[in-house]
Structure 1
Amino acid sequence: MSFAVNKNEKIRVTIEDLTHDGAGVAKVEGYPLFIQGTLPGETVDIHVLKTLKKYGFAKLLNIVEPSSSRVTPPCHVFPTCGGCQLQHLSYESQLIQKRKSVRDVMDRIAKLPDVPVHEVKGMDDPWRYRNKSQIPFDTENDRVITGFYKARTHHIVDTDVCLIQTKEADELMTMLKYKLQQLGIETYDEHTHKGMLRHLIVRKARQTGQVMVVLVTRHRKFPQKDAVVELIQQQLPNVTSIMQNVNTANTNVIMGNEMITLYGADVIIDRIGDTEFEISARSFYQINPVQTEVLYQQALDYANLTGNETVVDAYCGIGTISLFLAKQAKEVYGVEIVPQAIEDAKRNAELNNITNTRFEAGPAEEIIPKWYAQGKQFDVLVVDPPRKGCDEKLLETILTYKPKKIVYVSCNPGTLARDLRILEDGGYRTKEVQPVDMFPHSSHVECVAWLELTYVAQQ
């Protein structure tokens, strides 16, 4: 099979676009090549690494003409670390590129070229925004290393600083890296399934300043446990919770099933707006607290509640969006497949003295029809699914019962566009899409879409 380019060929190309994961795209006689570290408009010299039937991969050798939007990344391990993909692109240009990526899938996948996609709502200060860090440990050449995984690998890029996580997380990972060997605590080796300390997890509540530290260990028995707890308290006087998570499995899943409280409470408290939430070690809670408020306010604006509506919140998690909605709705029904999350949601409703919510664990496509069978009628449906988008059966359920309005919160524009096409074919019309930048310097973008039922499709 012949290609426009050959493996190991060295050529000069112009970058035309970025992929969804931040790689530059060049085309040679229509054949796409993906090149990490390049930006649209740049002329670059590349080395072709691999050619497949429909596309290939190449390595950047030299930037001949840089983009005017190129900046010097402030992080010393970019781009080796896989945490960020776009630090070499100015933040203003990142927002433009993210809007373009949403516009592209609305046109190409959703077939909705006339639906407005607004400018991305970005951050005034797009650094130090992550309220949760999951930091792996390893030992290399008899030295403890910690940091973040190289892209698409489980090889740790050793660092003491991450500019998108909290300073508390930086301080703890650095301190532990240099103290573990002194204490004789071995780091976990996922190849041999030996060693003790697997991960450090740090969660910080932005509004209250409370910090939770989770030490993920291979055994329940934790040598030098008291010494480690004391070191953490000395390093972070504002720590309010220190937990041990026991993960005995030979797996790359971070946490196991057993939680042990080593110090303080087993939750921390944070606020979004004037709503308080208890956050446990396992709770799903949006990573960027500043932008979470922007995202949820956008969902609330699109719901446009008057106080008379009954709302269903599918994929409700610990009740974050549900409780926002409940303050302006008649009733809110939340459903989530994870039982522990539902218990958290009920507790969070009690914490805020909110009495017009009902939460139930189970698949949304089963629970929502049950509620309808009980005589409930829903005016507004809010969905906030995982990256894979809405479950096919849930979409079928929506098109069967047809709530008048849908607010779709999405962390993946591609699956959002796919689902919008299905809902459009079932009688809904997408009014507009608002992207929100939850993850500056990464290629990810979240969106909120507003849909209205306009007709009942023929069955």
Structure 2
Amino acid sequence: MADTPPGSPKPKAKEKRPAPPQNQKIYKGVKKRQQKKMRKKERDMKNGSTEQVLAFDIRDLRNSLNESENDADGTPVVSEEEKESLLPELGTEILVKVVELSSTGDALALQEGGQSKQIYLVPFAVPGDIVKVKVYRHVHDEGYTLANFISVVEPAPTRDDARVRCGYFSKCSGCQFQMLDYGEQLRVKRRIVEKAFRNFSNLPPELIPAIQETIGSPLQYGYRTKLTPHFDGPPGFLRRNASKRAAFKERPDIGFMMKGKRTTMDIEDCPIGTDAVRAGMKAERERMAYEFGKYERGATILLRESTSRVPKDGFEFAGVPIGAVKVEADTYVDWKTCITDNNARSTEYVKDYVFHNLANEFFQNNNSILPVFTDYIRQHILPARRPESIKYLIDAYSGSGLFTITLSSLFQRSTGIDISDRSIEFARTNAEANNLSESQANFIAADAGQLFHSVRYDPDETVVVLDPPRKGCDADFLAQLLRFGPRRVVYVSCNVHTQARDVGLLVRGETGSSTSSAADASNKVNEKGTRYEIESLRGFDFFPQTGHVEGVAVLNRIDSAGVR
């Protein structure tokens, strides 16, 4: 995500300086070459980026295709020069047949009737589809071509467009799986986890257990409790010159990015949002129809669901906000509203647990799956053998305390830690709201890289929960974790590729950089010899209709004598 909202003015340009002396020019030339070398090194890192994930999928498919392209003696049937000449010109419309889905959610396809085995990256298609596409870029270095989806010429047996509930499907950049049966979506996400650990963990297959079936979301639509539509600045707005202001003449397009374009698409309704969020989206669009003149640049609109829960045997809830959505259960009524103020406080319930957060801060955006998800973590946080041997919980990257609070009753003491002071303040508020004492749920504001300097638990009696951001764990933190050596680790991640990379380091017992290539990280074994084995791997579908999958890895420490 960008550091500044769309349309934000850039700092004023600095005054021109005189040309640097010759030695400074040489220095700048050396520095430029060093930066270029660093960029190449970064490309070699297993950082779990979309480009790198796609590169593995392209490589694997290309390897399988090359076997059929070569003669018996390995000589290519079609030369590289001939392949290049067979590529269609940019802007050409062609037919392609989809071979498989990539881990990014886009399809990998081959041209129908074409002599070249060029791979085409196509959105909104599934294996077996024959689709018409428009070629817009050849990525020569990586050996594939980008194409825009136009239409389905011959649908695959697994494709059923009657399942699609969104009028913006195949244009909006989100929700590319709506044509698939939900069971098939879950199978696709299981394969994504499998490929992540095959490509990013640097582990032999025998050390990676079979990936369990993906746990589905109770809601496949109407599940998102947070959406952030946006609008661009007015026509003629110049970021580089803040003194020149343009004005909106009418309400701007409000919505999300179009697939393959840097253009905001006007979207009236988003069916994956909860009823409260969708009502909020409608209200914000109506407000902007009257207030667009107040804006001189683009902005992002926050839509966050918040819940007020009232027991059925209590007093009638007074002052129900206009537009509140009523959700009735056996013993209580939830009134759900949509917050648009970044600094307001939102409230969510996970079963009987209550969580307050700053509306714009991170909290899981699919409340319907959270009871299932937290129950799973609760069932697997302790070992099956001698569960009583684990007495302490450390919740790294704890945020506002989801795991610390929902797991606290299983331990003598629990500690959550997060780098954000504000998150820790809310975590303490949430512990109090759930009637937990400080000894049951303690929270510390500190860099996770310094975690074990703040907590003094016996590692043989401790389990650590990790839930880092998409980039994965910091290298220093992983080294520190291996030095501490907790008996058990449960690693939760919204990016199964960086999760696989980090789990690979823990299994090998390496203290090298978590973002280094396999060659750089090899042989950097921690001084204690601590390493782990993978007990289980499983995906959770927090975002139905998309290619995203949440991963849970459960690890056990292997002592130097091989004792678990």
TM bracket, shorter-chain basis: 0.7 to 0.9
Cα–Cα, structure 1 residues 309 and 401, in superposed 2: closer, same or farther, change >3 Å?
same
Q: 2:451 aligns with which of 361, 367, 370?
A: 367
Q: 1:208 aligns with which of 298, 309, 317?
A: 309
Q: 1:315 aligns with which of 385, 388, 397?
A: 397
Q: Which residue is equivalent to 1:172?
A: 280
Q: CA deviation at 1:444?
A: 0.2
Q: 2:362 aligns with which of 284, 303, 314?
A: 284
Cα–Cα, structure 1 residues 66 and 157, in superposed 2: closer, same or farther, change >3 Å?
same
Cα–Cα, structure 1 residues 312 and 175, in superposed 2: closer, same or farther, change >3 Å?
closer
The alignment partner of 2:378 has SS state of helix
Q: CA deviation at 1:306?
A: 4.0
Q: Which residue is equivalent to 2:230?
A: 136
* RMSD (CA atoms): 2.9
Matched, 1:86 2:177: yes
Which runs of no fewer than 5 residues in structure 1 stay unpaired?
Answer: 191-197, 210-231, 246-258, 260-265
Structure ID, larger Rg: 2
CA distance in 2, matches of 1:144, 1:63: 31
Q: 1:37 aligns with which of 124, 129, 134?
A: 124
Q: Is the 8 A contact 2:251 2:292 kept in 1?
A: no
Q: Which residue is equivalent to 2:412?
A: 330
> Partner letter of residue 345 of structure 1?
A
> Partner letter of residue 436 of structure 1?
F
> Partner letter of residue 107 of structure 2?
G
CA distance in 2, matches of 1:308, 1:118: 25
Q: CA deviation at 1:310?
A: 0.8
Q: 2:467 aligns with which of 356, 378, 384?
A: 384
Q: Which residue is equivalent to 1:71?
A: 160
Show the 5 A alignment for 1:23-422: 23-27=106-110, 31-52=118-139, 53-54=141-142, 55-72=144-161, 73-110=164-201, 111=203, 113=205, 114-137=208-231, 142-151=250-259, 155-182=263-290, 185-190=293-298, 198-205=299-306, 208=309, 234-236=322-324, 244-245=341-342, 259=343, 266-304=344-382, 306=388, 308-355=390-437, 356-372=440-456, 379-422=462-505
Q: CA deviation at 1:336?
A: 0.7
Q: CA deviation at 1:90?
A: 2.2
Q: Name the structure with the higher helix share.
A: 2
> Partner letter of residue 59 of structure 1?
N
Matched, 1:448 2:552: yes
Q: CA deviation at 1:152?
A: 6.1
Cα–Cα, structure 1 residues 10 and 244, in superposed 2: closer, same or farther, change >3 Å?
closer
Cα–Cα, structure 1 residues 184 and 124, in superposed 2: closer, same or farther, change >3 Å?
closer
CA distance in 2, matches of 1:453, 1:341: 30
Cα–Cα, structure 1 residues 308 and 450, in superposed 2: closer, same or farther, change >3 Å?
closer
CA distance in 2, matches of 1:88, 1:378: 48
Count of residues paired in the alignment: 409
Q: CA deviation at 1:169?
A: 2.5
> Partner letter of residue 303 of structure 2?
V
Q: CA deviation at 1:66?
A: 1.5
CA distance in 2, matches of 1:64, 1:404: 55
CA distance in 2, matches of 1:375, 1:422: 23
CA distance in 2, matches of 1:70, 1:94: 11
Q: Which residue is equivalent to 1:249?
A: none
Q: Is the 8 A contact 1:307 1:328 kept in 2?
A: no
Q: CA deviation at 1:91?
A: 1.6
CA distance in 1, matches of 2:194, 2:458: 39
Q: Over residues 289-340 of structure 1, what are the superposed CA-to-partner deviations in whole Å (9 max), with x where a residue is unaligned?
A: 1112222222222212548511111110000111111111111111111110
Q: Which residue is equivalent to 1:423?
A: 506
Q: CA deviation at 1:34?
A: 0.8
Which runs of no fewer than 5 residues in structure 2 stay unpaired?
Answer: 1-79, 235-247, 311-319, 326-334, 510-530
Cα–Cα, structure 1 residues 154 and 233, in superposed 2: closer, same or farther, change >3 Å?
farther
Q: Over residues 207-232 of structure 1, what are the superposed CA-to-partner deviations in whole Å (9 max), with x where a residue is unaligned?
A: 839xxxxxxxxxxxxxxxxxxxxxx9
Cα–Cα, structure 1 residues 375 and 35, in superposed 2: closer, same or farther, change >3 Å?
closer
CA distance in 1, matches of 2:174, 2:495: 17
Cα–Cα, structure 1 residues 397 and 343, in superposed 2: closer, same or farther, change >3 Å?
same
Q: Which moved more, 1:86-95 or 1:423-432?
A: 86-95
Q: CA deviation at 1:105?
A: 1.7
Q: CA deviation at 1:281?
A: 1.7
Compute the TM-score of the two structures, normalised by the length of structure 2. 0.66
Q: Is the 8 A contact 2:306 2:338 kept in 1?
A: no
Cα–Cα, structure 1 residues 158 and 125, in superposed 2: closer, same or farther, change >3 Å?
same
Cα–Cα, structure 1 residues 341 and 153, in superposed 2: closer, same or farther, change >3 Å?
farther
Q: Over residues 161-206 of structure 1, what are the superposed CA-to-partner deviations in whole Å (9 max), with x where a residue is unaligned?
A: 110002222223323323444457534523xxxxxxx343222246
> Partner letter of residue 117 of structure 1?
I
CA distance in 2, matches of 1:21, 1:202: 26
CA distance in 2, matches of 1:37, 1:241: 30
Q: Which residue is equivalent to 2:87?
A: 6
Q: CA deviation at 1:97?
A: 0.6
Q: Is the 8 A contact 1:381 1:405 kept in 2?
A: yes
Q: Which residue is equivalent to 1:228?
A: none
CA distance in 1, matches of 2:401, 2:471: 20
CA distance in 1, matches of 2:451, 2:261: 39
Q: Is the 8 A contact 1:169 1:202 kept in 2?
A: yes
CA distance in 2, matches of 1:77, 1:240: 25
CA distance in 2, matches of 1:167, 1:7: 45
Q: Over residues 398-449 of structure 1, what are the superposed CA-to-partner deviations in whole Å (9 max), with x where a residue is unaligned?
A: 1111111110001111111111111110121111111110000111000111
Cα–Cα, structure 1 residues 27 and 401, in superposed 2: closer, same or farther, change >3 Å?
farther
Q: Which residue is equivalent to 2:102?
A: 19
Q: Is the 8 A contact 2:393 2:465 kept in 1?
A: yes
Cα–Cα, structure 1 residues 307 and 357, in superposed 2: closer, same or farther, change >3 Å?
farther
